[in-house]
Chains A and B, each alone.
Chain A
Amino acid sequence: MSQTNISYKQPLLETPFHEKTREKCYAHDWHKWAGYKVVKQYTSAELEYTAIRNTAGVIDITPMHKYSVQGKDAKKFINKLITRNIDNIQPNQVVYALWCNEDGFLVDDGTVFCFDENNFRICSGERNLNWFEDTAIGFDVTIEDISHSIAALAFQGPLSCKILHMLNANKIENLKPFCFDQFTINNQEITISRTGFSGDLGYELWCDPSQAHEVWDALFSFNKDYKILAAGLDALDMVRVEAGFIVVNADLIAAEHALRPNRMRTPYELGLAWMVNLDKEFFTGKEALIKQKNKGVEKKLIGLDVQGDKPAVGSVLYDGSKKEIGIVTTAMWSPTLKSNIAMGYVNKEFIKLGSKILAEIYHPEELEYRKIWAQCKVVKKQFLNLERRNAVPALI
C-alpha cells in the first residue's frame, strides 16, 4: 500500500481485498486499474453478471480515486468545479457530477459525497489531484488524495439490501438513492451509500483497509441460502451498459488525455444536458457550454437498438444511403433485455429518438468475418430501467 516503497518487482498494487479476491479468482484473469490489480473475471463474466441481476455481486472498487475536500469554501469550490449546482446539497447526500475544462470538454465524471458544509469527498475514475488543486486556487479549501486509505466494495443486485438487512445494518432499507450513512455490519462501523454503477438496487461500502476482510466475509455470510458472487470488472461493464452509464476513456476521451483535440466531448454531446446548470454562477466551461447550448451539437452519444444478435462492436454507422454518420463506442448483447444494444455517436440529423440508421458489423465466425448491415433504431441510452433501483423502502 505504501506509496514510498516501490519496486519494479511489483508493478501493480494489491487492494486490501486482494487475499479474498485471489481466493475466488479461479480464472486468474486480472485487470490493471489505476495501478492496482483487480479481477476481470472470477470464473465467467456471464455468471457474475447474472448474480448482479439475480442475487447480488460484490465488486472490489478500491482503485477508484478518492479526494477529500475540506475547508470553509469547500462547497463554493465544488460549485466552480462541476456543472451542476450543489447549493442545496444536504449532509449524507451524494450527487453525480461532471467537470469540464474551459472549452466545455469533459475532464471527468464522479460522485460528490457531502459530509457537512465544509467536508466533501469526490470519487472519480481518473486522477484529478492537479485539476482539483488548480481549480481550488483562491478558495479556502484543502484537497487530499485519500485513494489509498479507503477500501471500497460495490454490492449490487436485488438481494443487496436484504443481505445488508440480515447483517443488521440498521434500517438500511430506508436509505434513499444517492444518500449515505454510517452502519455497523459484522461489528465494523462503515459508510454505506446507495449508489452504484449497475442501474440496479445496490450499495457501495466504504471502510478502513483494516476492516476489509471482515466486511468482505460478511457479504457472503448467507451464501448457504442466497448465492452472492464476487463479480469482476467485465460483469460490471455489462450492467453499466444496460443502465446507459458512460465510461470516460471508453465512450469519450477525457480532455486531459486526448491527444487529438477533436476526441473531447461536452456534456451536451454526451446527452447529459440535465447535468449542466447554466443558471448558476461562474463555473469552469460555462461560457463554452452556453455557446454550445445555443448553437446545438454537431454529434451526440445515443442509444441504439440493433437488429439481430451480433454485437455491433466498433461498428461504423451509416444513413440509408450508406453515408458515414457515426461510430459505436460500446456494444453488447443484453442478457436481461434479450436485445442487441449499443451506444454510439451520430451526426445531429440522427439524434432524434426513433431515427433509423445502419450499423456495419463485422462478426467474427471461425476465422472469417461475416459482414452484416444491421438496421438500428435510436433509443434512450438507459436501456434498462428497474423499479427496484430507486424504491424506498428498498426490497428486503
Chain B
Amino acid sequence: MNNKQYDVAIVGGGHNGLTTACYLAKSGLKIIVVEQHDYVGGAAVSKELYPGWTYSNCSYVCSLLRPEIFRDLELSKFGLQIIPYEGSATMLNDGRFYAHYNDHDLTYRSIAQFSKRDAEAYDRFSRDVMRQCKIIKPLLKMTPPDPTSFAPKDVMGLFEFAKYFVAKDELGGLGEKEIYDTIRFWTMSVRDYLEEYFESDVVKAHLAGSAIIGTALGPYSPGSAYVLLHHYMGEVDGTIGAWGYSRGGMGSITQAMSKSFQAKGGEIKAGSPVSKILIKNNRSYGLVLKNGDEIYANKIVSNLDVKRTFLKVVEQKQLPEDFYLAVKNFKIRGSSGKLNIALDELPVWKSIPVGDPAGTGDLHITQSIEEMEGAYDDWKDGKWSSYPYVDMCIPSINDPTMAPQGKHYMSVFIQYVPYNLANGGWTQEKRKEFGKHVMSRIGNYSKNFNDIIKHAEIRTPKELEDEVGLTEGNIFQGELTMDQLMFNRPIPGYAQYKTPIKNLYMCGSSTHPGGGVMGAPGANAAREILRDLNKKIESHYI
C-alpha cells in the first residue's frame, strides 16, 4: 500500500496536467502525476502502432502552445522542436487546388486565380483577425475574473480584462470600431463572418475549416467564428496564426514536459487509473487507484475534463446539487474522427504537384461551406458525414523521424463523426466502414493513395473517449462557445480553476482558455495553486 504524502497530486498526465506539475515542482513542492496509461501525454502522444512508423495519433499539429511555457519549462533542452509549415491547400473536385504559401505575394496570386477581390480581401481579413488575436492573447494568460465578485483580485481582473478592449494602443487595446468587431466576431457564424470578406466558395471553405475542427457546430451556427479565432491565436516564432509539426510527433511535447518535470524532482505514476478522489468534510485529501492503493496529497488537481472529474471520480454525494447539474449540462459533444495511416510512399495528388510546399502543410478536402454544413447535418442525424471535411497532413515530409526512409505517415482529421451512431451505435464493423469511407474520399483526389496504404488506425469519438479519456471524444474538453468561455468555463462561478471541493482544482482544457495543445489552462491553474500556497516562482508566464 502506497500512502506517501504529497503536496499536490495531479490526476492525468496530459499536456496541461504536466504543465501544472512542472510549474508546481519548480517551487520546490512535492508533486506526483498519476496517469492511467503506461505512458503520459493524454491527447498529445506519439505512438508506434505499426513497426517503424510514429503516429501523432490524436492531436497532430502545434501552434497554440504558449511560447512562455515552452521557455519556462525548458522544453527545447528536453528535446522539443517545432517545424513550421510551408503552406496549406484545399483540393477541389475540378482538379484545381487552392493554396496558401509563406510568401505573401505567392498567396496573393494563388487566391487571385479564384478571385482578385478575395486576394485583396485576404489582407483585410488577416488584419482584422490579427487585431482580435491581439486582444485575446493577453486574456489567455489571465485567470478569468468573477464578474459578480467585489474581491480586489476580481475587480482588478475585470479592469484588466476591459483594458484590452477599450484602452488605447499604448496599453495594448484597440479602438472603438474594433470593440464592435470583437463582439461580432465572438457571436457570429463563420459563414456570415467570411461572407463579409470573400466571394469565392473555395476561399471561404478553406478558411472556414478552422472554425469547425473539433466543434459540434456547423459553419452556419452562431458562435463558430470564435472557433476560427481560437485556431488563429497561436504562433510559431512570432508568426501569429502559423502552425507547425512537433518533431517526433506530438508526443515530443509531453515527453519534454515529463522530463522537465522529473528533472525538478517530480514523480510520475503511470499505469495507475484513479477510481476515486478522497473527500472528507468537503475537502479533498487523496486518491484511490483502481488497484486499491491510496495516494495522499494536500491538494488534488484534475487534468480530466470537468464531466469525467465530477461524474466519474468525485462521488455525487460530495457535490452541491446545482454544481452537479451544471456539470451534467456542460456541452462536450464528440464530433471528430481521426485516421492515422502508414504509407508505402508519398501520395501523389491529382491537383498539387509533387514538391509544391502547399502539399506539405494542412491539406483540406472540401468544396464549399454548404458542403461543410451538409456534413454537419449528417452528424445531427447520427451519421458520419457523407462528404466529411478532411484535414490531412503528412508530417514525414518535413520530419525525418516519423517514418522509415522513403515511407510516409499521414494524419487525417475528420469532421463530422457522431459519438452516438444512429441505428444501433458503433460496432467494429461500422468503425472500419467509416475508415473506408474516409479513405475512399481521399483516394478520389490522389493518383496512388489507394495502393500505398500499409496500415490505418481508425478512431471515432468512442475510441477518443475510451482510450484518451475525453468525454464523448470532444477534443477541446468541452465546446468553445460563448456560454462556456471565459468566466463561464467550465461552470459559472468556478472559472478560477477551483471547485466546490476545497483543495480540489481543475487544470484541463475544460477550463479557461480551452482546448488545443496550448498549456495555458495548466499554467493558469498552477498560478492559482501557487497563490493559494503563498509560493512564488521565477517565470515568464506566471
Contacts and interface: CB of A to CB of B under 8 A. Distances in A.
A262 B123 contact: no
B451 interface: no
B127 A11 contact: no
B130 A35 contact: no
Given A130-B120, A257-B127, A11 B169 contact: no
Interface stretch (B102-110, B330-338, B375-383, B463-471): B102-110
B120 A129 contact: yes
Contacts of B103: 8, 11
B106 A261 contact: no
Nearest to A130: B120
Contacts of A129: 116-117, 120
A294 interface: no
Nearest to A34: B105
Interface in A174-206: none
B263 interface: no
Interface string B133-158: 01000000000000000000000000
Interface stretch (B172-180, B285-293, B313-321): B172-180
A260 B133 CA distance: 12
A3 interface: yes
Interface string A5-19: 010100111000000
Interface in B13-40: none
Contact of B121 (A35, A130, A145): A130
Interface in A107-136: 127, 129-130, 133
A32 interface: yes
A4 interface: yes
Contacts of B356: 8
B112 A8 contact: no
Contact of B113 (A3, A258, A262): A3
A11 B105 contact: yes
Contacts of B358: 8
A137 interface: no
A262 B120 contact: no
A336 to B, nearest CB: 34
B124 interface: yes
A11 B124 contact: no
A319 interface: no
A292 to B, nearest CB: 15
A262 B173 CA distance: 10
A259 interface: yes
A43 B336 CA distance: 58
A145 B169 CA distance: 35
Contacts of B87: 8
Contact of A11 (B106, B134, B174, B177): B106
Nearest to B175: A261
Interface in A251-272: 256-263
B357 A8 contact: yes
Nearest to A33: B105
Contact of A6 (B110, B120, B134): B110
Interface string A34-49: 1100000000000000
A34 B134 CA distance: 27
B324 interface: no
A261 B178 contact: yes
B109 A262 contact: no
A258 B124 CA distance: 10
Nearest to B130: A259
Given A8-B356, A129-B120, A256-B123, A262 B105 contact: no
A89 B87 CA distance: 47
A3 B112 contact: yes
Nearest to B128: A259
Given A11-B103, A256-B127, A261 B174 contact: yes
B170 to A, nearest CB: 8
Contacts of B127: 256-259
A133 B117 contact: yes
A6 B178 contact: no
A8 B101 CA distance: 8
Contacts of B108: 35
Of the listed residues B105, B123, B124, B127, the one surrounded by the most CB atoms of chain A closer than 10 A to its CB is B105
Contacts of B117: 129-130, 133
Interface centre among A4, A32, A133, A261 (most CB of B within 10 A): A261
Contacts of B130: 259
Contacts of B124: 130, 256
A129 to B, nearest CB: 5
Contacts of A32: 105
A257 B123 contact: yes
Interface string B261-286: 00000000000000000000000000
Contacts of B357: 8
A258 B134 CA distance: 13
Nearest to B124: A256
Contacts of B437: none
B109 A35 contact: yes
Nearest to B117: A130
A244 to B, nearest CB: 28
A262 B175 CA distance: 8
Nearest to B109: A6
Contacts of B109: 3, 6, 35
A256 to B, nearest CB: 6
A11 B116 contact: no
Given A11-B105, A256-B123, A262 B168 contact: yes
Contacts of A127: 120, 123
Nearest to A10: B106
B432 interface: no
Contacts of A130: 117, 120-121, 124
A34 B120 CA distance: 12
B163 interface: no
B455 interface: no
Contacts of B407: none
Interface in B61-120: 87, 101, 103, 105-106, 108-110, 112-113, 116-117, 120
Contacts of B47: none
B131 interface: yes
A35 B105 contact: yes
Contact of B177 (A4, A6, A260, A261): A261
Interface string B171-209: 000110110000000000000000000000000000000
Contacts of A11: 101, 103, 105-106
A98 to B, nearest CB: 19
Nearest to B113: A4
Interface string B351-362: 000001110000
A386 B124 CA distance: 40
Interface string B288-319: 00000000000000000000000000000000
A12 B108 CA distance: 11
Most buried by B among A11, A13, A263: A11
Contacts of A256: 123-124, 127
B207 to A, nearest CB: 17
Nearest to A129: B120
Contacts of B120: 127, 129-130
Nearest to A256: B124
Given A3-B112, A257-B127, 12 more contacts: A3-B113, A6-B113, A8-B103, A8-B106, A11-B101, A12-B105, A129-B117, A130-B124, A256-B127, A259-B134, A262-B169, A262-B175
User: 7 shortest A-B CB distances, which residue pairs?
Assistant: A261-B175, A35-B105, A11-B103, A11-B106, A262-B169, A260-B169, A6-B109
14 contacts: A3-B109, A3-B112, A4-B113, A11-B105, A35-B109, A127-B123, A129-B117, A130-B117, A256-B123, A256-B127, A259-B131, A262-B168, A262-B175, A263-B169
Interface of B: 87, 101, 103, 105-106, 108-110, 112-113, 116-117, 120-121, 123-124, 127, 130-131, 134, 168-169, 174-175, 177-178, 356-358
Interface of A: 3-4, 6, 8, 11-13, 32, 34-35, 127, 129-130, 133, 145, 256-263
